[in-house]
């Protein structure tokens, strides 16, 4: 899939220039277009064929990160009970920006390769495979629902699904009463057909699929389908359940096969670090620029500003106040957070000097042992590097805090009782606390932080009819991202 360094010039074709455009080795432009037409009969794909072309390492990482951002945001919204039209409206801008649906070859290429790259990332353990299948299936469902009826029909016709057949009109008439009783509640709840005459008219023109009941086992329990002789009768408007189940089953099988081929990458020193970074499940995001102006020590003492702080920053500040000192990793994490929040170098030096000298540390010792490092954090000493605040992935990659250390992520590092007490002090309702604890148990720490943000700073209930989440109500992946969104204007 990747060109070796020595071949980058020798094997360029089709007008590849300095921009490093993708090359599909050995294919003409017409053959390349025909291949994507085969893979994407209607803007969607089951990704049945593996990649045969070459892409640059920059495309490899950039495309995979973009798709991972989409999957993380979709997973977060589903965990926060977004569904249906609300979910579609929330995801549409992000999909249009990072992973657009369309007939353009470049959009299809990005979708195609990014899917297979993430297969490499998430095939290594059963837990990663399960998570990837769940996320990709949710993306598939969302995209299918965003297609027009004509595109949906074209896509379904292109699939070679086993044991699927439409019943004829005679069989529909024979089972008419039972079929209508089974489908009528879904016509009301899914299609919002509140009038009985509308439901009868829709049923008259609806076609039904006949397939083995185990293919739609999730619809059998709630009695959304009619069962007869081991067959399930599925209305066409609910066919997505069967198609998505087939997609998930094939993807799970393909991921296990991909895992068997991973040893072939052992000799490449470029790809394993990228794959390990991506499979961590966290997107490295630069901190958002401060929007509330400069931050001072007096601001940190004010309740509106403190209420906007993420739990990791609160823990560091509490540890600093109690001990008048933080160890190296704690100083680094908090100093960079405050820098990203808008605190100037001069204000930071005053803040740290006041905090340390309130304890046993003298001002002379502070200036001798800590001043240089703090100025270095702001790029004022040494190589004058402008260090970025730590994102969630960086924090989670650091060693867990030992005794009398306060760095790290509270959702990973704090004892359950301590975390529950902190959440109660933030006045989280019991359902929100339960959601946070469930996310922590699944080791989805950024999702736990997102739940806390929603509970403390969400402005509209997720169940409100017609509510469309604001663009900034996305997955929290950075402490400064939390602060800037929650910070009072």
Measured distance CA(409)–CA(208) in Å, rounded: 51
Structure token pair of residue 161: 């699904």
Task: Tell me how far apart the alpha carbons of residues 61 and 230 are, in angstroms, rounded to a whole number.
Answer: 47
For residue 119, the SS3 value is helix
The three-class DSSP label of residue 165 is strand
* Beta pairing, strands 208-212 & 231-235: antiparallel
Sheet holding 226-228, edge to edge: 165-166, 208-212, 231-235, 226-228
- Which of 308, 304, 376 lies closest to 341 in space, CA to CA? 308
DSSP letter at 234 equals E
Nearest to 456 by CA among 318, 308, 287: 308
Residue 312 marked ligand-binding: yes
User: Under a CB-based contact definition with an 8 Å cutoff, are residues 437 and 420 in contact?
Assistant: yes
Give the count of alpha carbons within 13 A of 370, CB side only. Answer: 24
Would you give the DSSP letter of residue 288? P
Residues 226, 179 contacting (CB under 8 angstroms): yes
| Torsion of the alpha carbons at 426, 428, 433 and 436, rounded to the nearest 10 | -70
Token representation of residue 72: 């993380």
Is the distance from CB of 135 to CB of 293 less than 8 angstroms? Answer: no
- Is residue 392 within 8 Å of residue 483, measured between CB atoms? no
234: β partners: 209
Q: Is 409 annotated as a binding residue?
A: yes
Which two structure tokens, joined as six digits, stand for 65?
Answer: 């990160």
Burial 177-211 (b: 16+ CB within 10 A, else e): eebbebbbebbeeeeebeeeeebeebbeebebbbb
Say if residues 68 and 118 touch (Cβ distance below 8 Å): yes
Q: Which two tokens stand for residue 173?
A: 């008439």
Neighbouring-strand partners of residue 55: 2
Annotated binding site: 312, 392, 409, 449
Annotated binding site for [4Fe-4S] cluster: 312, 392, 409, 449
């Amino acid at each position: 899939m990747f060109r070796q360094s020595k071949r980058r010039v020798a094997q360029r074709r089709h007008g590849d220039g300095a921009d490093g455009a993708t090359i599909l080795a050995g294919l003409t432009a017409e053959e390349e277009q025909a291949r994507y037409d085969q893979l994407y009969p209607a803007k969607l794909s089951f990704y049945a064929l593996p990649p045969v072309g070459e892409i640059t390492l920059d495309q490899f990482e950039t495309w995979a990160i973009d798709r991972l951002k989409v999957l993380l945001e979709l997973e977060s919204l589903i965990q926060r009970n977004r569904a249906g039209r609300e979910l579609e409206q929330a995801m549409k801008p992000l999909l249009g920006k990072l992973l657009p649906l369309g007939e353009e070859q470049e959009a299809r290429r990005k979708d195609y390769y990014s899917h297979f790259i993430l297969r490499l990332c998430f095939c290594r353990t059963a837990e990663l495979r399960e998570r990837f299948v769940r996320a990709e299936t949710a993306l598939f469902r969302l995209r299918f629902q965003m297609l027009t009826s004509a595109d949906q029909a074209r896509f379904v016709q292109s699939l070679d699904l086993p044991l699927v057949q439409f019943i004829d009109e005679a069989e529909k008439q024979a089972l008419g009463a039972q079929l209508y009783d089974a489908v009528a509640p879904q016509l009301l709840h899914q299609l919002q057909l509140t009038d009985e005459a509308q439901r009868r008219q829709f049923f008259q023109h609806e076609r039904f699929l006949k397939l083995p009941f185990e293919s739609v086992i999730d619809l059998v329990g709630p009695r959304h389908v009619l069962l007869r002789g081991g067959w399930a009768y599925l209305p066409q408007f609910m066919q997505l359940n069967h198609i998505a189940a087939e997609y998930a089953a094939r993807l799970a099988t393909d991921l296990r096969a991909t895992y068997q081929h991973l040893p072939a990458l052992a000799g490449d020193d470029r790809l394993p670090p990228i794959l390990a970074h991506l499979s961590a499940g966290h997107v490295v995001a630069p901190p958002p620029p401060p929007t509330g102006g400069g931050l001072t020590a007096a601001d940190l003492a004010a309740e509106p500003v403190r209420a906007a702080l993420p739990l990791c920053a609160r823990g560091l500040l509490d540890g600093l106040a109690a001990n008048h000192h933080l160890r190296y990793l704690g100083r680094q994490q908090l100093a960079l957070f405050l820098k990203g929040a808008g605190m100037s170098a001069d204000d930071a030096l005053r803040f740290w000097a006041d905090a340390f000298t309130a304890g046993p540390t003298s001002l002379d010792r502070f200036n001798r042992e800590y001043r240089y490092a703090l100025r270095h954090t702001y790029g004022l000493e040494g190589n004058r590097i402008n260090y970025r605040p730590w994102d969630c992935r960086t924090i989670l990659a650091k060693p867990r805090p030992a005794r009398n250390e306060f760095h790290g992520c509270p959702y990973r590092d704090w004892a359950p009782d301590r975390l529950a007490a902190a959440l109660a002090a933030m006045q989280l309702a019991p359902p929100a606390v339960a959601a946070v604890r469930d996310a922590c148990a699944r080791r989805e720490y950024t999702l736990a932080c997102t739940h806390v943000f929603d509970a403390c700073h969400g402005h509209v209930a997720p169940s409100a009819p017609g509510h469309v989440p604001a663009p900034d109500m996305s997955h929290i992946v950075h402490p400064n991202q939390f602060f800037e969104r929650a910070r009072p204007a």
